[in-house]
Structure 1
Amino acid sequence: MNSDLAKIQDSLLPAALAAAAKSPFYRRRRDGVPANRAELADYPLTTKADLRDAYPFGMLAVDRSRLATYHESSGTTGTPTASYYTKEDWDDLVERYARVRVGLEPSDTFLVRTPYALMLTGHVAQAAALSRGATVVPADNRSLATPYRKVVQLLHDLEVTLTWSLPTDTLLWAAAAAHAGLRDFPALRALLVAGEPLSEARRDRIAEIWRAPVVQEYGSSETGGLAGECPHGRLHLWADRAIFEVYDPSTGRCAAEGAGELVVTMLVREAMPLLRYHIGDRVEVSYGDCPCGSELPVVRVLGRGAAVLDLEEAVFRLPISYGVMFWRARRSDRGLYVQIEVADRYRYAAVRDLTAALAGDALVEAVPPGTLVPVAALTAPPEIMKPRSFYGPGEDWDRALRYY
């Protein structure tokens, strides 16, 4: 690690440890709170189970009157965890997100297509964009008011310049745009994505479809942004805001780099200090020269594993003319079974090419478009109404008092 980076971390660590000493969770620990970096290295990991057991305010290190927002994670890996932030915490969240390499400008129209309700991701993107003077379109991906057809209309009609979403969402938009007959989005200058591991081939395909660069960010609801992408496509961990370690579950040991599971100590966090928080994401962390000149460590997020990324890489290395955007796979006693959506005229070529790319290690089946992603999901108009109690003759009052 660069000595200047270590100095920055050491300058911030005392305040982080002092904040942790005010947290009921860390005060109750048998070992107390570490006094310095050397003691921190031997301190027990903080786990997701710890956060769940501390629900809702067992991690709170400030008076509740100082809280600005309360959030919960998506719960994709189990019971959701709570997290909370002061206004000062938000200043840091916004600063980290606004480091995005394409910049956020007053001239931007920024479509935010990640969740708002309870989760952090949509709110931090909106706050960062507003802090830089951009116009925000709060599309949300959990709202019935913005199905894919509506999103594509907004992208086109509002001349959206930046988007924030899951990588998969951008492919769904592309399919919805094709059904709507919309092919021209000249204002779009970048697609910002996070929330899923992303192979180079899928990134390239998304960029080719939309004719705009795809820029990754990495983080969590408990921590906010942890890494941002440089112009050379590498994710750099924000090691000036956190100490990162890589945990080897087979040995129980941590190292500064290598392959394993990510552990994070937040250095700028008042409301909910996190010491050696075991996020659990499978990663590869490395220090070394990057063409961009940054001395921050580089992280590769593996998610469910390198094998899944390799499979995704093979799917999206198929020629773009085949039109393959959606796929699924599973292992069974008979081996790997892969389905891809592809039009009849490319069916044989796509199956042949993907089977060859997988070295015969899979049974590949082509299914018609609309099998994996129903056409109705891409073309349905918004169907939303306020609750009603009074209906006229012939009206469907089975919808009374319900939101759609």
Structure 2
Amino acid sequence: MIWQKEECLSRDEMNQLQSERLIATVERVYENVPFYKKKMDDMGLEVGDIRGIEDLSKLPFTTKQDLRDHYPYGLFAVPMKRVVRVHASSGTTGRPTVVGYTKNDLDIWANCIARFYTAMGVTDEDIIQNALGYGFFTGGLGFHYGAEKLGATIVPISTGNSKKQIQIMQEFESNVLICTPSYALYLAETIKGMGLDPREMGIKAAPLGAEPWSYEMRNQIEAEWGMKAHDSYGLSEVIGPGVAFECGMQQHLHINEDHFVPEIVDRNTLEPLEPGKKGELVFTCITKEALPLLRYRTKDISSLVTEPCACGRTTVRMTKCDGRTDDMLIIRGVNVFPSQIESVLLKLGQTAPHYVLIVDRTNNLDTLEVWVEGKEDVTFVDGMRYMKEIERRITEEIKSVLGLQVKVKLVEPKTIERSEGKAKRIIDKRPK
């Protein structure tokens, strides 16, 4: 099922639509956002130089730091009287990034999420339990209004109180669950701890996101729940969730490219790369009114797939992100993403899917420890020798995959802190 005709345009039709919208957006930001006017003037770039989507690479990049430098409203392209809502990032590494929305922006956002629901087989007859946070975080409200746009029933329970989540799931007959991947596993663990079976809860599908997760984790979630888990991609600065999504084929993520034009650029040179090449994902917003960012550097590592999908959608797809460069660890010259460690752990299948990476420095050398929970039914039955054998296998596999020697520590079940939101995978003890 297709939600809107824009998802099935020919390449020429999409390029024409993107070109028209890009030209209009560049004109608006030049006239209304001093930051972009100065950037373009300094580059000797005139509005008339942008004649179509083929000129996208002439435009300046935008970074998260630019948003922070112009906190809170300095990059808005409309007067505040037209802004009907604001969201903001957590601001854990400095000033939060503030995002504004006009009424039209909110309608676009709801449409993007409704496309996602439709692509994964959700209809207006389904009951959606939303266990994402409501507030400055864009996840909760984004998925909420998308469900209402579709006409489905939304249960806005938000995060926390896992036993209440389970009770509501049973009593309200929810059949779609929205949460983070790590919380989906934690909920399944809680359900089994109550003597129940997650596969009998009636959940048929789950759009998951807000944190990096591997295909191996998806397999584990689907096995635990007996449902299909669909990847979603978004970030507050671009709009929130709904930038890209998996359809029923679960083969890469469809980008809503009639609203967000994707590029992949080389991380070092920032030169555009061809489809299929891996690099940093960049988006230009061509329909947003309040905060239409030009060439926003996401710091996510991905590649683009241009072949049409078997579902019938013709939109460009992006591969699952390897990770965000902000989350990337550099350990003795080796780039390490938490999702790479996760893939190794879950492929081996000898531990629970709960882990944390502890980074430290000894004698001026960075060290990495991987703490992972053992399975409740087998881990400590055979004593220390069995534990050491599992640790050895994991250590060897990580070295084989990453070329890095790490220390692996098998810990008892339920000793690693659980999160009802985004999982905290890294503890960095290195001196600042």
Q: What TM-score comes out, normalization by structure 1 length?
A: 0.83
SS in 2 for 1:45: coil
Number of the residue aligned with 2:409: 365
Q: Is the 8 A contact 1:23 1:273 kept in 2?
A: no
Confirm whether residue 269 of structure 1 aligns to residue 288 of structure 2.
yes
Number of the residue aligned with 1:34: 47
Match of 2:244 among 221, 227, 230: 227
Instruction: Give percent identity, aligned residues only.
Output: 29
- Per-residue CA deviation, residues 137-176 of structure 1 (Å, 9 max, x unaligned), is 22223xxxx3223222222332211122211111111122
Q: Is the 8 A contact 1:34 1:40 kept in 2?
A: no
Q: Is the 8 A contact 2:27 2:47 kept in 1?
A: no
Which residues in structure 2 correspond to 1:199-214 (within 5 Å)? Answer: 199-214=214-229
SS in 2 for 1:98: helix
Q: Identify which range, 166-175 or 357-366, moves more after superposition.
A: 357-366
C-alpha displacement of 1:187? 2.0
- Per-residue CA deviation, residues 20-49 of structure 1 (Å, 9 max, x unaligned), is 132243234352763323554222211111
Confirm whether residue 114 of structure 1 aligns to residue 124 of structure 2.
no
Does the C-alpha gap of structure 1 residues 338 and 344 become closer, same or farther in structure 2, counting only changes over 3 Å?
farther
Does the C-alpha gap of structure 1 residues 128 and 30 become closer, same or farther in structure 2, counting only changes over 3 Å?
closer
Q: Number of residue pairs matched?
A: 370
Confirm whether residue 190 of structure 1 aligns to residue 205 of structure 2.
yes
Which residues in structure 2 correspond to 1:271-310 (within 5 Å)? Answer: 271-300=290-319, 301-303=321-323, 304=327, 307-310=337-340
Which residues in structure 2 correspond to 1:1-400 (within 5 Å)? Answer: 2-20=11-29, 21-31=31-41, 34-35=47-48, 36=50, 37=52, 39-76=55-92, 78-100=94-116, 101-141=119-159, 146-184=160-198, 185-224=200-239, 225-233=242-250, 234-257=252-275, 258-300=277-319, 301-303=321-323, 304=327, 307-319=337-349, 324-330=352-358, 333=365, 336-342=368-374, 343=376, 345-347=378-380, 348=386, 350-351=390-391, 353-355=393-395, 357-358=397-398, 361-373=405-417
Does the C-alpha gap of structure 1 residues 355 and 49 become closer, same or farther in structure 2, counting only changes over 3 Å?
closer
C-alpha displacement of 1:99? 1.0
- Per-residue CA deviation, residues 350-401 of structure 1 (Å, 9 max, x unaligned), is 5465345435744332211121137xx89xxxxxxxxxxxxxxxxxxxxxxx
Q: In structure 1, what is the Cα distance between the partners aligned to 2:97 and 2:367?
A: 36
Q: Identify which range, 281-290 or 41-50, moves more after superposition.
A: 281-290
Q: Is the 8 A contact 1:17 1:33 kept in 2?
A: no
SS in 2 for 1:227: strand
- Per-residue CA deviation, residues 177-196 of structure 1 (Å, 9 max, x unaligned), is 12222325442111111112
Q: Is the 8 A contact 1:355 1:362 kept in 2?
A: yes
Q: Is the 8 A contact 1:166 1:195 kept in 2?
A: yes
Q: In structure 1, what is the Cα distance between the partners aligned to 2:337 and 2:291?
A: 35
Number of the residue aligned with 1:397: none
- Per-residue CA deviation, residues 241-283 of structure 1 (Å, 9 max, x unaligned), is 2221122231132235322212111111111111111122222
Q: List alignment gaps of at least 5 residues for structure 2.
A: 1-9, 329-335, 381-385, 421-432
Q: List alignment gaps of at least 5 residues for structure 1.
A: 379-404
Does the C-alpha gap of structure 1 residues 92 and 103 become closer, same or farther in structure 2, counting only changes over 3 Å?
farther
Does the C-alpha gap of structure 1 residues 267 and 58 become closer, same or farther in structure 2, counting only changes over 3 Å?
same
Q: Identify which range, 19-28 or 61-70, moves more after superposition.
A: 19-28
Q: What TM-score comes out, normalization by structure 2 length?
A: 0.78
C-alpha displacement of 1:212? 0.5
Q: In structure 1, what is the Cα distance between the partners aligned to 2:201 and 2:378?
A: 30
Q: In structure 1, what is the Cα distance between the partners aligned to 2:212 and 2:93?
A: 15
Alpha-carbon RMSD = 2.6
Task: Give the counterpart letter for 1:302 in structure 2.
Answer: D
Does the C-alpha gap of structure 1 residues 227 and 168 become closer, same or farther in structure 2, counting only changes over 3 Å?
same
Number of the residue aligned with 1:395: none
